[in-house]
Amino acid sequence: GAVVSQHPSRVICKSGTSVKIECRSLDFQATTMFWYRQFPKQSLMLMATSNEGSKATYEQGVEKDKFLINHASLTLSTLTVTSAHPEDSSFYICSAREKMAGSGELFFGEGSRLTVL
Amino acid sequence: KQEVTQIPAALSVPEGENLVLNCSFTDSAIYNLQWFRQDPGKGLTSLLLIQSSQREQTSGRLNASLDKSSGRSTLYIAASQPGDSATYLCAGPNSGNTPLVFGKGTRLSVIA
């Protein structure tokens, strides 16, 4: 299957700093990428839909000024957690849908665990 | 809005048993349904994808079925092994462009 890579896999930062997480589709072009957040022992909750070349669409309750999403190319989307606080500590996972695939199958990255001290 | 429910929330079985994980969804207009595996602290591994026009998919010891009319999907695991221990998630979008809506998962433990 297609490969989606996330970086970094783990990051620890101080409260008030910003952290950028990258999501790359390695062997396919993705016009749409989705960002999810997962708290311990919970399911994945959609944060936003990222479309190449346009503004992201955020889910209700997700602050767009806090979680900045940029999808500048067909293979890269970034999520920046600005002014991070301990309550932002979570597991962030991106997924991508292949541009040319009619199946609609989504491929997921390995996730990025953010710990804010 | 699509809602996905998974039963049971947790399951523990002895090695070698066949087992079934259940997934139900509220909107029968589901575009496709994917089953994933998630190991602790890791991302998602796609196991099977069933298109809305299909009734089942098989991969090795795994078989997934889809019944849109009843809003149900099942994941059948044959001859379970300790390495199958993980959380299994089902999810489906309402169209080819919409995101996946996830169930809360079934946490499976296969005891050697």
- Chain A: closest CA distance from residue B104 (Å): 5
| Per-residue confidence (pLDDT) for residue A14, from 0 to 100 | 96
Which helix (H) or strand (E) segment holds residue A33: the answer is strand A30-38
* Segment among A1-5, A84-88, B2-6, B80-84 with least mean pLDDT: A1-5
Neighboring chain B residues of A107 at a CB cutoff of 8 Å: 46
Residues near A77 by Cβ (< 8 Å), separated by ≥ 6?
Answer: A22, A23, A30, A33, A35, A50, A69, A70, A71, A94, A96
Closest by alpha carbon to A105, among B91, B10, B75? B91
For strands A106-108 and A90-98, give the pairing: antiparallel
Q: Confidence band (pLDDT; 50, 70, 90) for A25?
A: very high
Task: Point out the residue among A1, A105, A111 whose CB comes nearest to the CB of B43.
Answer: A111
User: Which residues lie below 8 Å from residue B44, measured CB to CB, with a gap of 6+?
Assistant: A44, A93, A95, A108, B36, B37, B38, B89
pLDDT at A1 over 70: no
Task: Tell me the C-alpha distance between A49 and A19, whole Å.
Answer: 19
Q: Shortest CB distance from A93 goes to which of B44, B96, B97?
A: B44
What is the per-residue pLDDT for A100? 66
Query: What's residue A47's pLDDT?
Result: 96
Give pLDDT, residue A102.
Answer: 65
- Whether residue B35 has pLDDT greater than 80: yes
The count of other CB atoms within 10 Å of the CB of residue A102 is 8
For residues B71 and B25, the answer to whether their CB atoms sit within 8 Å is yes
Instruction: Please name the amino acid found at residue A107.
Output: F
Q: How confident is the model at residue A72 (pLDDT cuts 50, 70, 90)?
A: confident
Question: In the numeric block, which tokens belong to residue B42?
Answer: 């890791």
Interchain CB distance below 8 Å, A34 and B42: no
* pLDDT value for A101: 62
Check A105 against B104: CB less than 8 A apart. Answer: no
- The tokens for B101 are 């809506």
High-pLDDT (> 70) share of chain A, %: 94
A89 has a chain B CB within 8 A of its CB:
no
How many contacts does A have with B, using Cβ atoms within 8 A? 58
Kindly state the percentage of chain B with pLDDT values over 70: 99
Confidence of residue A103 (pLDDT cuts 50, 70, 90): low
For A46, the closest of B97, B99, B103 (CB atoms) is B99
Burial group, residue B75, by CB count within 10 angstroms (0-12, 13-18, 19+)? buried
What is the C-alpha separation between A68 and A22, in angstroms, rounded?
Answer: 12
